Amino acid sequence: MKTIDDLDVAGKRVLVRADLNVPLDGATITDDGRIRASLPTIQALAERGARVVVTAHLGRPKGEPNPAYSLAPVAARLGELLGKPVAFATDTVGDSARETVASLGDGDVALLENVRFNAAETSKDDAERGLFADALALLADLYVGDGFGAVHRKHASVYDIARKLPHAAGRLIAAELDVLKRLTENVERPYAVVLGGSKVSDKLGVIDNLLGKADRILIGGGMVFTFLAAQGHEVGTSLLEKDQLDTVREYLRRAEENGVEFVLPVDIVAAAAFAADAEHGVVAADAIPADRMGLDIGPESGKLFAAKLADARTVFWNGPMGVFEMAPYAGGTRAVAQALVDADAFTVVGGGDSAAAVRTLGFDENAFGHISTGGGASLEYLEGKTLPGLDALEG
């Protein structure tokens, strides 16, 4: 796979597909981690005299313009981080985009409006996506794929565009790939995987694949209640996927058969309602009251998980241990994050909510080996799936 170092970019229009899908509170960016992760590629291209045209998505605007999902606040923040103005086009392939790109000088940077304001971007129809990719390609001489958080999507600006222009991978994608290879090839052991988040069904593929690769799998978050129920325990009003009980029982059986240690919480923070101010307390994992819902792993589980991670040499973590956005249910996620910081291991935080939790809870990002920008993409890679965006860059 070529990288930007293999491209002659001076004086060329370079279309960079970045991942700038940041959380917003109105027009305020609450976590600019993905913007900062995109800087190395954009800066390197600009410093080499490229005319950098950035395209990205934000949220799910359903194929039509929606001011709530405008990238205008991102353009402003990107300019602050770059230390120079970033021109903003109010459309993706229309008059504003053409005029904005035409006005760029060598070393300048522009950002196009949300690529998902165009229904063709995410179309299942190859021809429709292809036509939109043609329109994008008219704005550039070269293409750089750097939106790792979207490489598992067969979208026009991720997949089809690479077939229209000379292309290469950006710094972020190259870095993410290096990390994922360390998690799948010649892994330093013991290899521990911590999985959380709300649903087992979101992690089925990765659990299935890791049963033959990981030494330990630690389970927390909302998905843990399906595991507890599969063992015959009461889970009260906690999140439960009844249709996955047989699958989970089979995973537990296979883990034992393959010598993979499955670690489940021993205590749970159970509340009367899904609210920060709800009455709550710590109960044994096998004694959740019928009228309570589990919203975090308990303090003893935090200690147990930390002990299971202490001697690991490689750790991959995807998914919070509880509803960390509410202070009473953030303890488990904080304990796991601290355990990764303390471990003498190569530690990877697998994007999405886990990355947001690390920042929200005040941890130094440099204390972790790597914080991924793409939760879904990381998981699909670890499942062994082909990722369309990476496949296109290989061609």
- Known binding residue 59? Answer is yes
Q: Which residues face 63 on adjacent strands?
A: none
Q: Are 300 and 177 a contacting pair, CB within 8 Å?
A: no
Burial class (CB in 10 A: 0-12, 13-18, 19+), 213: middle
164 in a labelled binding site: no
The C-alpha angle with vertex 363 and arms to 358 and 369, in degrees rounded to 5, equals 75
Determine if residue 19 is labeled as part of a ligand binding site: yes
Question: Has 197 been labeled as part of a binding site?
Answer: no
The answer to whether 193 and 173 have CB atoms below 8 angstroms apart is: no
Show the 3-state SS of 182-198: HHHCCCCCCEEEEECCC
Q: One of 33, 196, 319, 376 is an active-site residue; which one?
A: 376
Residue with tokens 């013991």: 190
Whether the bond between 299 and the residue before it is cis, its omega within 30 degrees of 0, is no
- 354 labelled binding-site residue: yes
Nearest CA to 82 out of 133, 40, 115, 20 is that of: 40
Catalytic residue among 12, 13, 34, 171: 34
Residue from 236, 352, 374, 389 carrying the catalytic annotation: 352
Residue 198 annotated as lining a ligand binding site = no
Asked if 34 is an active-site residue, the reply is yes
**250 appears as a binding residue in the annotation:** no
21 labeled part of a ligand binding site: yes
Confirm whether residue 153 is marked as ligand binding: yes
Q: Is 171 a catalytic residue?
A: no
Three-state DSSP state, 169: strand
Residue of 182, 199, 213, 359 with catalytic role: 199
For residue 37, the one-letter residue type is A
Query: Is 203 part of any known ligand binding site?
Result: yes
- Known binding residue 125? Answer is no
The dihedral sign for the CA sequence 264, 200, 376, 163: positive
Closest CA to 376 of 352, 393, 342: 352
Q: Is 20 annotated as a binding residue?
A: yes
Hey, CA dihedral for 150, 155, 159, 162, is it positive or negative?
A: negative
Q: Per the annotation, does 57 bind a ligand? A: yes
17 marked ligand binding residue:
no
Residue positions in the annotated binding site? 19-21, 34, 57-60, 116, 153, 203, 294, 325, 351-354
Residue positions in the annotated binding site for ATP? 203, 294, 325, 351-354
Residue positions in the annotated binding site for substrate? 19-21, 34, 57-60, 116, 153
> Which residues are tagged catalytic?
34, 199, 352, 376
Residue positions in the annotated binding site for (2R)-3-phosphoglycerate? 34, 116, 153
